[in-house]
Amino acid sequence: MPVTMKDIARDLGVSVVTVSKVLRNHDDISEATRKRVLDRVKELNYRPNLAARGLVTGHTYLVGLVVPDLLHPFFAEVAKALSKALLKKGYYLIISSSEEDAELEAREIDQLLGRRLDALVIATSMATPGIFERLERQGPPLVLLDRSFPGLATNFVGVDDELAGAMATEHLVAIGCKRIAHLRGPDHSPGVGRLEGYRATLAKHGMKVLPGYVSATRASDVASRENGKTAMRELLALKPRPDGVFCFNDPTAMGAVDAILEAGLRVPQDIAVVGCGNLHYNDSLRVPLSSIDQNTQQIGERAARLTLALLEAKVPPKKKSIFVEPTLVVRASSKR
């Protein structure tokens, strides 16, 4: 059994209250007793029970983060930045992964609610906003991350996906591509946003989305490498064949490059490829991959700032959506 305040109080012949006060630096304690208490605390290696404390104070200094996949560097990096920024203000981050599974995510959220966290940050795997409507009505302050729902009024932090799609497509246009295709992502907001950015940019330049130029298969976030390869093979069979591809994410783009090389074509001379996410190793690939950088760290920091603002507010502030600006990183796969 761990040491409690009671043990210390008994040992020293003082009351629990006195011990409690010393530990929280109240100044209505004599130097003498303070020292006696502190010494005993050290000796016994005492640690306050944070759960008990939270029970009475009403806040836990715990913020929950739910992500679809910790193996995805994007989420790992957001977690890192978020954790660091929150820690500075004394808040501790609890991370859980839903493995892109809506049902598991619901269970995780339940757990976190049961622990009475002070706030919740969620990059959801859910297809519908139902759960979040309920959370907004009854639950701790909530910030949605990376994926949002049209029509749901909520706090949100993520990259501007439409801009990301537009920048990638704009770049392909700029290097002279005439027939630009898109290996699209899932039906969530990043997938749809990037697709919209692609569409809008083509339209702006008076270019058409040729039949089949938006992949039917939706690169899931896991195993998108294989998906990309398969989807690209289908694109290669089209006539006319595309001369530029914007891919939902980098693994998909890597798969696309695989398929293109496999068909005996060259990247970027025959087909230029741009991904999204800017993974760390893009530089060292067989064909170094151009990509849209999502400014991940900034996303984490802005999410932290927003969360802290919610935590410190007396009255619930107006819902706020923060869109971080992406950046284009050009490498060999689109250098002409």
Closer to a copy of itself by Cβ: residue 162 or 293: 293
Question: Is the link from the previous residue into 73 a cis peptide, with omega within 30 of 0?
Answer: no
Q: Which of the residues 120 through 139 are near a copy of itself (CB under 8 A)?
A: 134, 138
| Residue 147 φ then ψ, to 5° | -125, 125
| Cα angle 284, 77, 185; round to 5 | 75
- Cα four-point dihedral sign 18, 20, 22, 24: negative
CB of 271 to a copy of itself, least distance (A): 17
- The CA distance from 194 to 253, in Å, is 14
Residue 64 Cα distances to 109, 111, 165, angstroms: 9, 10, 30
The Cα–Cα gap between 58 and 96 comes to 23
Q: Is 169 in the site for a copy of itself (CB under 8 A)?
A: no
CB atoms within 10 A of CB 27: 6
Q: Is 128 in the site for DNA (CB under 7 A)?
A: no
Site for a copy of itself in 260-319 (CB under 8 A): 279, 281, 284-286
Q: Segment 183-212, which members bind a copy of itself (CB under 8 A)?
A: none
- Residue corresponding to tokens 């012949």: 13
Return the residues of window 21-40 that contact DNA according to CB under 7 A. 21, 23-24, 27-33
Regarding 25 and contact with a copy of itself (CB under 8 A), the answer is no
- To DNA, the closest distance from the beta carbon of 139 in angstroms equals 15
Binding residues (CB under 8 A) for a copy of itself: these are 2, 45, 47-52, 54-55, 60, 70-71, 73, 76-77, 79-80, 83-84, 92-97, 99, 110-111, 113-116, 134, 138, 254, 257-258, 279, 281, 284-286
Q: Which residues bind DNA (CB under 7 A)?
A: 1-2, 4-6, 13-18, 20-21, 23-24, 27-33, 47-49, 52-53, 55-57
